[in-house]
Amino acid sequence: MKPADSIRGLYAITPECSDTGRLCALTEAALHGGAAVVQYRNKLLPRARQAEQAIALLRLCRGFSRPLIINDDVELALQIGADGVHIGKDDARLSEARGLLGQHSIIGVSCYNQLDLARSACAQGADYVAFGSMFPSATKPDACAAPLDLLTRAHGELDCPIVAIGGITTANAPAVIRAGADAVAVISALFDAPSVEQRALEYVRLFA
């Protein structure tokens, strides 16, 4: 699978959950619903617990032939053999991640609301770029706002997939997709749903 081939549709970002069993159950439901990518994100647990959860999620994602991306931790991605990593805007970190993880790893870069950062990331070999916050987000209430027309401009100019993140619900996702997003990254609106599998399916259908 080429890295870019997997970055389309629902990009599920895991909630910060200390119960590994529950985290895997939630993620499995999202995968059953059609999530194309899973990103493991947990800033709170000790390192050993992060590794434990990431390994469990990697095993789960392997069963669905879906990539597991690690949030902002190249060393953890390397340690467990994850499919890739998502990092911040620093180009030096991108080249370092590529050097450590290799050419076949998926490396995504947060570009916030700045097209210039995305241009630079793509030129440096990023497999996808992410813009946001598209809408107000409870996960990152202080995140900078990214306008919809940024997605349109990026879609017309960049060769790598475009991920939109931040406050994306099934109600506003169609506007994001029409604007040019190849994938929508979701945390709360997916994993807080009464049925995670059904909510994932609702997102996936928007790309049909």
User: Which residues are part of the catalytic machinery?
Assistant: 41, 110, 140
Alpha carbon 122 to chain centroid, angstroms: 16
Nearest to 156 by CA among 135, 179, 172: 179
Distance CA 150, CA 206 (A): 20
Cα atoms found within 13 Å of the Cα of residue 174, Cβ hemisphere only: 6
In 47-172, alpha helices (H) = 47-63, 74-80, 91-101, 115-123, 148-157
Nearest to 36 by CA among 115, 128, 136: 128
Structure token digits, residue 105 = 């790893």
